[in-house]
Amino acid sequence: MVAKSAPTGRPDRVVVVPVANMFSAPNENSDVASQAIIGSNVVTLDVRRDWVRVRTDDRYVGWMSRNVLRDREKSGPYGTSGPVVRTEALFANVYQEPAVRVHKPVLTVPFESRLEVATGREERKVGWLRVRLPDQRAAWIRSGDGNRNPTPLTIPQSIELAKRFLGLPYLWGGRSSYGYDCSGFTQMLVRSRGITMPRDTRLQAEWEGAEEVDRKHVVPGDLLFFGPSPEQINHTALYIGEGEIIHSTAQNRPGVQIGRLNDPSRRRTLIACKRVT
């Protein structure tokens, strides 16, 4: 669900768990519409007892349990007033001290998690970064698991990034390295290039930030959209060249995998090819 008339507002809550589900209604029996990862700032739109209706930075709207959020109204959005590290590992362990053998990790956070870096001489240890988690706990991550100065990737670099996820499970509503759905995966790959794209497959296909190209002229980095008809687009993938696509799919062996664009089922259901501009 995308906010169409949600009020503009400053982010006032932050996700404090590795991955938080966003439900279509304020109960866990409703379907998972999307997810947000730790350190994500959200805007509160409504509150119903133990549930909060929120809007994420890509304007997606859903319901989250209050237990996965922390109020930031007084202190301001998390990770915006000082140095931040973004995790580059598919999964990064977070420890209570700079040692991997003393205690078990306090958290395992997914790829792209943004964590505040603690500053000061006492916060330094070779090979480690001290961070302040969104729930205000102090913790440590290995410096090799994060990047303090991430830069947008080129298309070839984003394709190499995509291949790092091969074999990860498909997850409906998934938007993290714990599991992606098809549009969550392509959204992440486009985001790696410094571009924010809508969340849903249909909205990605209609997005003004991409121009349509003829299927005969697709090049690596183009987005491909599939479905029974233009009105029923239900799948997306990234073209990586040499007739191959990479996507997170629920078919066959569900997960991130490489397929052939000329496979009969794909060739028959290809609706549109888009190039991000």
Nearest one of 262, 228, 227, 269 to 245, comparing CA atoms: 262
Q: How far apart (Å, rounded) are the C-alpha atoms in residues 271 and 268?
A: 9
The reported pLDDT for the residue numbered 193 is 98
pLDDT-based confidence at residue 81 (cuts at 50, 70, 90): confident
Residues 37-52 have a mean pLDDT of 97
Q: pLDDT tens, 137-169?
A: 999 999 999 999 999 999 999 999 999 999 999
User: Which of 251, 270, 230, 250 has its CA nearest to residue 184?
Assistant: 250
User: What tens digit of pLDDT does each residue of 85-133 get?
Assistant: 999 999 999 999 999 999 999 999 999 999 999 987 767 789 999 999 9
Tell me whether domains 13-71 and 155-276 share a fold.
no
Instruction: Fold for 155-276, please state it.
Output: endopeptidase fold (from Nostoc punctiforme) (3.90.1720)
Residue 269: CB atoms within 10 A of its CB come to 17
Task: Give me the CATH code for the 84-147 domain, please.
Answer: 2.30.30.40
The fold of the 13-71 domain, in CATH, is: SH3 type barrels. (2.30.30)
What pLDDT was estimated at residue 265?
Answer: 86
What does pTM read for this prediction?
0.93
Determine the average pLDDT of the residues in 11-34.
97
Mean of per-residue pLDDT scores for the chain: 94
Give the span between the Cα atoms of 90 and 145, in whole angstroms: 9
The pLDDT-based confidence of 4 (bands split at 50, 70, 90) is very low
Residues annotated as part of the active site: 182, 235, 247
272 pLDDT exceeds 60? yes
pLDDT score, position 252? 84
> What is the pLDDT averaged over residues 14-29?
97
Contact 60, 3 (CB under 8 A): yes
Partners of 65 in the beta sheet?
51
The number of beta carbons lying within 10 Å of the beta carbon of residue 95 is 19
Is the pLDDT at 1 greater than 70, yes or no? no
- The domain limits of the chain are 13-71, 84-147, 155-276
Q: What is the pLDDT of residue 60?
A: 94
Where is average pLDDT lowest: 9-23, 42-56, 70-84? 70-84
Question: Percent of the chain having pLDDT more than 70?
Answer: 96
Q: Which two tokens stand for residue 166?
A: 């091969």
Q: Which run of H or E residues covers position 183?
A: helix 182-191
The CA radius of gyration of the chain, in Å to the nearest whole number, is 19
pLDDT digit string, tens, across residues 206-262: 999 999 999 999 999 999 999 999 999 999 999 999 999 999 999 888 999 999 999
